[in-house]
Amino acid sequence: MLECIEQKKTKKTEVQGEIDSLRKELSSLANVVKSKKLPVIITFDGWSAAGKGSQISKLIKNLDPRFYKVVSIRTPDEKEKRKPWLHRYWEVLPKKGEFLILDRSWYRDTVNAYMFGEISKSEYKRRLEDINILERQLSDDGYLIIKFFLHITKKEQRERIEKLASSDITDWRVDRHDIINMESYEKFMRLYDKMIVSTNTKSAVWHIVPANDKVTAEFSELVTVTNSIKGAVAAEESKTQFSEKPELPLAEIKPCIFKTADQPKLADIDMNRSITDEEYEKKLKKYQDKLFKLQNLCYQKRIPVIIAYEGWDAGGKGGNIKRVAAALDPRGYEVKPIAAPEPSELARHYLWRFWTRLENDGHFTIFDRTWYGRVMVEPIEKITPTERAEMAYREINEFEKQLTDWGAVVIKFWINISKDEQYRRFKERENTPEKRWKITDEDWRNREKWDEYETAVNKMIKRTSTDFAPWTVIEGNDKKYARIKALKIICRRLEERLEKD
Amino acid sequence: MLECIEQKKTKKTEVQGEIDSLRKELSSLANVVKSKKLPVIITFDGWSAAGKGSQISKLIKNLDPRFYKVVSIRTPDEKEKRKPWLHRYWEVLPKKGEFLILDRSWYRDTVNAYMFGEISKSEYKRRLEDINILERQLSDDGYLIIKFFLHITKKEQRERIEKLASSDITDWRVDRHDIINMESYEKFMRLYDKMIVSTNTKSAVWHIVPANDKVTAEFSELVTVTNSIKGAVAAEESKTQFSEKPELPLAEIKPCIFKTADQPKLADIDMNRSITDEEYEKKLKKYQDKLFKLQNLCYQKRIPVIIAYEGWDAGGKGGNIKRVAAALDPRGYEVKPIAAPEPSELARHYLWRFWTRLENDGHFTIFDRTWYGRVMVEPIEKITPTERAEMAYREINEFEKQLTDWGAVVIKFWINISKDEQYRRFKERENTPEKRWKITDEDWRNREKWDEYETAVNKMIKRTSTDFAPWTVIEGNDKKYARIKALKIICRRLEERLEKD
């Protein structure tokens, strides 16, 4: 496919007028992007020495530097390798109304990583799927993704690299990767072809830019960027989703179907489970000691552990988490309390604040409330429209699958208490001076919607109890029973994971 | 001094009851900390093998893990070395109502760094001053700082280290630094003594914990932490500043006096400066080319560049920044637009959001609005009481001095326009559809307070035009003139800095 791309040559004088007016148009479209709060991601991939850097420099001259960020992607460093591979992209996700320009993108992390032996073939395939998921998730959230592949011919590439390498001033710009890219041109071409074909989706179509000639390249990029922005703005105004007319046939993507296990409904849970104080003390010590040892093993094997706590208000999440944390080496975990999102969080994809809170591998990340707010409090409180919230089940399953692929053990608890027990605890909080800060009017208001929440929880458990990230409903009327059960489950899941390693 | 510390031995059975009740008290005080929004920093320093880790583990068992963070400080890694040395502490600053527990602190970074030859003697002294400044700034902002020095005798240390080193399971815990700490015990003692004496301030007094005996140590820490929290809460309630009764005489600290240069008042600025279009194009190219080259040199020499833009609304900051950014390699700078603080920012010291936005050395950080909001918009809009804002002049001078000590060039612009010119531009924005998002009711409201702002700006320029971070007022009625002037000043300041290198 790439082989058939025609490399036009444009004299600068011929198109200078058009380029100038496109630049001006882009400049004023950037204002529209800002006022319409459209988030834009522009990726530049392509051959070594294809001119990505200089094309980016030209493009950004038309943008307001307060509202864009250029990020250069290189081989991940040691710190980046301790997070899921997509983490470094989530981390730099632009706000609504801002631009992110990637000098090489997740495509570099896939094709080059595979070609340079950093990842296996199956990992390579999985990454391509991850890319389709990422681009779809972002696009569904209103992100405009413009993907450029800068294509140069074999001859042109060789000339450029040799020229760079022959000068003392520029030879540092040619590295081992460039040489391999040049010497295995045909092999790369086949891989690029396949990659482009399998990731040309309606969420993010590919734009192949013939880049032997720099003027032609700039011209074609300006046309694409301005058209895409205009299209996205028009789509936004007519409340439809933006789809570009693809230059290449769209890839057929089989949606990933997540198998979910049956779970009892909340109403069917036996809420009378309890434990004696004596048994509690004994088992608490037993499982905390066990967990401490398991944490050490996970640390050594660099296994990430994600524990997600959800449950009714006053369900006892805090005390439960405290008993888990008490077992752990304090340098190896962090508890992340999740409150209502801040403005900078609302200005991005809702998964952003969870992606960016992940600790390194080998560490525990304990979430006190989680991404499940998206399918519970958000639609119930009308913060998110129902149809957007509906999409989240799949997105959440995908997110948790990606965490699992990273190597993580994902453990999810719903701490369940009866409505009467909640009333008792609310009253107790109100009557205990140092606990009063824990109870707010909002808690009482939420309580009035108990049935609505119960329906949402049942649905959530049903649709997101995957085999890799199953839910455990914990009978929480007896706090001590609940703590032991949580500790037990965590230990069991870690043991299962360690056995596989 | 340390030599004279008595090492008591306490039988666990004797104090078990007291320890238990202190633990309970701390647990409930943690709720008070949360509800009173008191931020608490507890630092553990001391001899190698003094038991810092195990003391911390015991302490946190009494705290809610959602509201504390334990951070272990080691020799800074390559990434950390590219920021000011205090950056990594600012980065983990707790929110109001939360605890930060430091396993070794800024004291490790000072004494050990000096003893292990990482920093010079003068750098060592400057760091002790930086520490006094940091602790005072935090304390002034309501932070409670509790500093422990865990002291063990030479004999005890030797026994512990030898025991650790002799077992296969624990020998990894003994490193080169521990051996040196043991072998140069007397030398370290002298240095610790001096360090403690010179940093025992009313903002943060030292607590020396005799730690030969672990039970005694825990007991004494629990007493200190509970008393300090109670004291801080009581001080908060009576609206006074919390000062602990020091165990040691307080250090005498000479406040740093910042010399400031005379600057003209805004009213005396000649606002008729302008430039022809032709001259503009010529000079723009000239200074942008120059700046590009200077950026390269700064990058090679790892010089950080901080450019702070302030100015009247519609003064032309955006366009000015754009011309500066256009000259730069996009991988080497970031523009940070500063809006109203978010909840997570309001919950911390106001300088936190600037500290955490600093780019690596060798890079440009361009602030569009800055920390000077503290002495302009905040007191004028009654967001910050005048007496708190008053304190900011010194804090800001200290902050900029610390940036300069890091090696940074700090450049500050006030873009000045006349009141008539502002009116013209506001109207123009209102009448241009794609610029309309730039103008809000707030802009008009601010305009009504022009005189109040002018007084504040004059005062700010007068009090913070230090020799290391002077202000430049830029005549901005002619935008093009302003852009060239900014570029010129930046180039000059960089050249001066490079000459010194």
Residue count of chain B: 501
When CB atoms are compared, the residue of B322, B343, B366 closest to A64 is B322
Give the whole-angstrom CA distance, residue A101 versus residue A146.
10
What are the backbone angles phi and psi of residue A76, rounded to the nearest 5°?
-60, 140
Smallest CA–CA separation between B316 and chain A, in Å? Answer: 12
Q: What is the pLDDT of residues A311-334, one digit of tens each?
A: 999 999 999 999 999 999 988 999
Mean pLDDT of the B131-152 span: 96
Residue A196 token pair: 């482009």
Q: Which stretch of A241-250, A443-452, B378-387 has the lowest confidence by average pLDDT?
A: A241-250
Q: Which of A434, A436, A440, A483 to mutate to test the interface with B (most CBs of B within 10 A)?
A: A434
Q: Which residues pair with A412 in a beta bridge?
A: A308, A471
The residue-averaged pLDDT of A140-152 equals 97
| CATH, domain A2-237, list 1.10.3470.10, 3.40.50.300, 3.30.1330.60, 3.60.20.40 | 3.40.50.300
Under the banding of pLDDT at 50, 70 and 90, the label for residue B55 is very high
Q: Decide: helix, strand or coil at residue B57.
A: helix
Instruction: State which residue of chain B sits closest to A98, comparing Cα positions.
Output: B337
The contacts of residue A7 (CB under 8 Å, 6+ apart) are: A152, A153, A156, A210, A212, A213, A216
Determine whether the interchain pair B66/A337 forms a contact, defined as Cβ–Cβ distance below 8 Å. yes
Q: Are B109 and B118 in contact (CB under 8 A)?
A: no
Q: Specify the pLDDT at position A257.
A: 83
CB neighbourhood size of A274 (10 A): 14
| Closest-CA distance of chain B to residue A363, Å | 13
CB contact under 8 A, A66 and B335: yes
Q: Convert B304-329 to b/e letters by CB count within 10 Å (16 or more is b).
A: bbbbbbbbbbbbbbbebbbbbbbbbe
Q: Which residues of chain A neighbour B58 with C-beta distances below 8 Å?
A: none
Extended beta strands in A131-213, E state:
144-151, 206-210
Q: How does pLDDT run across B216-226, given as a tens digit for each residue?
A: 999 999 999 99
Chain-chain contact of B436 with A35 (C-beta, under 8 angstroms): yes
**Do the chains contact at B335 and A70, CB–CB below 8 Å?**
no
| B326, closest residue in chain A (CA to CA) | A61
Q: In what order do the strands lie in the sheet with B206-210?
A: B68-72, B99-103, B40-46, B144-151, B206-210
Same fold yes or no, A2-237 and A266-500:
yes
The pLDDT value recorded for residue A254 is 80
Segments in B382-449 forming alpha helices (H): 386-406, 419-431, 441-448
Q: How many whole angstroms separate alpha carbon A167 and alpha carbon A171? A: 6
What are the extents of the domains in chain B? 2-7+20-237, 266-500
Does A24 reach chain B within 8 Å, measured CB to CB? Answer: no
Per-residue pLDDT tens over the stretch B433-464: 878 888 889 999 999 999 999 999 999 999 99
The shortest C-alpha distance from A230 to chain B (Å) reads: 14
Strand partners, B364: B305, B333
CA–CA distance, B302 with B114 (Å, rounded to integer): 22
Contact between residue B365 and residue B307 where contact means Cβ atoms under 8 Å apart = yes
Q: What is the pLDDT of residues B386-414, one digit of tens each?
A: 999 999 999 999 999 999 999 999 999 99
For B2-7+20-237, CATH gives 3.40.50.300
Are the beta carbons of B478 and B274 closer than 8 angstroms? yes
Give the integer Cα–Cα distance in Å for B173 and B175: 6
What is the number of other CB atoms lying within 10 angstroms of the CB of residue A60? 20
**Is A56 touching B (CB cutoff 8 A)?**
yes
Band of the pLDDT at B253, cuts 50, 70, 90? confident
Per-residue model confidence as pLDDT tens digits over A33-72: 999 999 999 999 999 999 999 999 999 988 999 999 999 9
CATH architecture of A266-500: 3-Layer(aba) Sandwich (3.40)
The closest alpha carbon to B25, from B213, B215, B224, belongs to B224
pTM here is: 0.89
Is A249 an 8 Å CB contact of chain B?
no
Query: What is the arithmetic mean of pLDDT over A403-423?
Result: 97
Q: State whether residue B34 sits within 8 Å of chain A by CB.
A: yes
Three-class DSSP category at B284: helix
A72 and B343: CB-CB below 8 Å?
no
Overall residue count recorded for chain A in this entry? 501
Q: Are the beta carbons of A100 and A41 closer than 8 angstroms?
A: yes
Strand order in the sheet with B471-475: B333-337, B364-368, B305-311, B409-416, B471-475
Look at residue A9 in the predicted model and tell me its pLDDT.
85
CB-nearest to B434 from A31, A326, A342 is: A31
The end-to-end CA distance of chain B, in Å, is 41
Q: Write the pLDDT tens digit of every residue in B14-25.
A: 888 999 999 999
Q: Which of residues 337-366 of B touch A (CB under 8 A)?
A: 337, 342-344, 366
Q: How far apart are CA B130 and CA A405, in angstroms?
A: 45
| A residues 77-106 lying closer than 8 A (beta carbon) to B | 79, 101, 103
Residue B342 to residue A337, Cβ atoms within 8 A: no
- Determine the Cα–Cα distance for residues B36 and B38; give it in Å rounded to an integer: 5
Which residue carries 């950093």 as its tokens? A118
Residue A263: how many CB atoms within 10 A of its CB? 18
* Pairing mode, strands B144-151 and B40-46: parallel
pLDDT given at position A301: 96
> What pLDDT does residue A437 have?
81
